[in-house]
Amino acid sequence: MASNNKNPALDQNFSAGSGKSYSPDIRSVRINTSREGISVPFKQLCLSNGEKILVQDVSGPQTDGVLPRARESWGGSYKDGEVRKVHKTQLDYAKEGHVTAEMEYAATRESMAYGPDMAFTPEFVMKELAAGRAALPANANHPESEPMLIGKAFSVKVNANIGASSLSSGYEEEIKKLRVSLKYGADTIMDLSTGIKELGPLRDALLRRSPVPMGTVPVYEALDRAEGRAKDLTWDLFKKTILDQARQGVDYFTIHAGLTSDLLPYAAKRTLGIISRGGSLMAAAMMNHESENMAWEHFDEILEICHDYDVALSLGDGLRPGCIADACDKAQYGELENIGKLIERCREAGVQSFVEGPGHVPMDRIEENQRLEERYCKDAPFYTLGPLVSDIAPGFDHVTAAIGGARIAECGTSMLCYVTPAEHLALPEEEDVRQGLLVFRLAAHAADLARHLPGATIRDDAMGRARAEFRWYDQFTLSLDPMHAYKVWSSKMPEDCGHTPAFCSMCGPRFCPIRLNRALVYRYSNEENKAD
């Protein structure tokens, strides 16, 4: 490992009411790749018994300003005036059998190791990319980003949606949401800002500060440029918006190209019609112009732009169901079938691609959604919004969606878009972002365990041992949110209990089963020794 410094941004010190204080020993470390000067950051959870647990670290360089443009020197792109273009996309290289620095970086990140111990070799990553089973979003104009993988063979990723709307949330607030997202483990972010004046500058500010790939839904800005009138939303205007955002550095675009006009009558019959913002805008433009979906019609031009800058396409589910009653209908599955056709065109064109999924789906039909996506879209990575498994829990829909998200990820989904407690009610604030990310990190990890991802049990197993040995502070360090766990625990413990009290307030000292266990282990390990 290249370095081993305690990460100042993670070095929080908290003093509870009881007077005890705690600061988790979480360090920043880097693992070198085979390439000079290219190493991958991780967090190392340092436990009191000397154990060190390595976990992925998406938080990037801890700085208040813009990030270094690290990837600029890795090769593969060239200057074309102000902006950079690529010689080939990551998919082109993979199809040629060429391992890029980005692939090697991402393989190291997934494996938490470089060299003979790697769970995933750079060659394996290359093959997954070549087959279109994985994507590595890395726009040449977002050199601040650290390569990562979205694909079924790899750990389940979590996206955090941020962005302002006309009713709330300004520039500073969005930067804060970005920071919270990175702190709590967003693997990618999407800027979904709409209806504010400074869309471009805000996006630039986010890109220059984001070490994770960033996605957008370009039709939002296109409508803004059309001054909110769907009838003025022309292909030229849409195309110009896509081009501008590609040149700015957006790593993936959600484009609702699969929502064709033949599906609109099915959507019109639904309880909730179209609930995707982008989907409803495309439909409005189609109805206004009496024409086919412009993104479907001009898909080759979209592919050309995406290829120039290596923007990945996230094929949007404009017809995702917005309530249980609308799930799995002709509108939804018809669009998915269309997306399957577009995926083939992306692969031919050398444009990386993945597929967006529902939405609201009852639990008994979640597996069907994953299998259909795999069939229609030939194993392209699936990227779902939940799905939410019921409609009746506004205020708790981060949980409604985490239940469905964990399940569909268990079935093979590659990335989950988080849902926050504000879903269906309001624009999320910072605390909503935190809550949403924590429960989705949890859902993604539960799926990693279920999918037998190499190394997935390491942290859980360390937690089990820490519990068995009453190493409370190690339990906090191993938690998804150490300070939160510590606060809950310490608020109920006596002041003088120290770091390893052999009980907690749930059962009190007399009834602690873990304590009673010690006699059990003593007894049977003695018997074994006698037998030996």
| Pair of tokens at residue 23 | 């600061």
The per-residue b/e assignment along 423-436, b for 16 or more CB within 10 angstroms, e otherwise, is beeebbbeebbbbb
- Judged by CB under 8 A, the number of residues near its own copies is 112
Phi, psi of 357 (to 5 degrees): -130, 180
**Applying CB under 8 A, does 395 fall inside the site for its own copies?**
yes
The alpha carbon of residue 162 and the mean position of all alpha carbons in its chain are separated, in whole angstroms, by 12
Q: How far is CA 39 from CA 3, 110, 481, in A?
A: 10, 13, 26
**Applying CB under 8 A, does 197 fall inside the site for its own copies?**
no
Candidates 33-41, 150-158, 239-247, 476-484 — which segment interacts with its own copies by CB under 8 A? 476-484
Beta strand spans in 75-162 (E): 77-80, 83-86, 134-135, 150-151, 157-162
Place of tokens 């800002």: 193
> What does the alpha-carbon distance between residue 254 and residue 374 come to, in Å, rounded to a whole number?
19
**Applying CB under 8 A, does 465 fall inside the site for its own copies?**
yes
**Applying CB under 8 A, does 523 fall inside the site for its own copies?**
yes
**Applying CB under 8 A, does 202 fall inside the site for its own copies?**
no
- Residues between 292 and 351 that touch its own copies (CB under 8 A): 322-326
Q: Which residue type sits at 470?
A: F
Q: Which residues pair with 385 in a beta bridge?
A: 417
> What does the alpha-carbon distance between residue 370 and residue 305 come to, in Å, rounded to a whole number?
29
| Of the candidate residues 36, 64, 300, 392, the single one contacting its own copies (CB under 8 A) | 392
Write down the least CB distance from residue 384 to its own copies, Å.
15
According to DSSP, the β-strands at 14-15 and 21-22 are: antiparallel
For its own copies, which is the closer residue by CB, 69 or 518?
Answer: 518
Write down the least CB distance from residue 508 to its own copies, Å.
4
- Residues between 208 and 227 that touch its own copies (CB under 8 A): 220, 223
| Of the candidate residues 86, 138, 199, 402, the single one contacting its own copies (CB under 8 A) | 402
- Residues between 430 and 459 that touch its own copies (CB under 8 A): 438-439, 442-443, 445-447, 449-452, 457, 459
> What does the alpha-carbon distance between residue 244 and residue 249 come to, in Å, rounded to a whole number?
9
| Of the candidate residues 37, 170, 498, 509, the single one contacting its own copies (CB under 8 A) | 509
**Applying CB under 8 A, does 26 fall inside the site for its own copies?**
no
- Residues between 114 and 143 that touch its own copies (CB under 8 A): none
**Applying CB under 8 A, does 502 fall inside the site for its own copies?**
no
Write down the least CB distance from residue 50 to its own copies, Å.
18
| Of the candidate residues 120, 253, 296, 476, the single one contacting its own copies (CB under 8 A) | 476
For its own copies, which is the closer residue by CB, 67 or 282?
Answer: 282
**Applying CB under 8 A, does 61 fall inside the site for its own copies?**
no
Q: How far is CA 146 from CA 71, 211, 472, in A?
A: 8, 6, 34
Provide the 10 A C-beta neighbour count for residue 5. 9
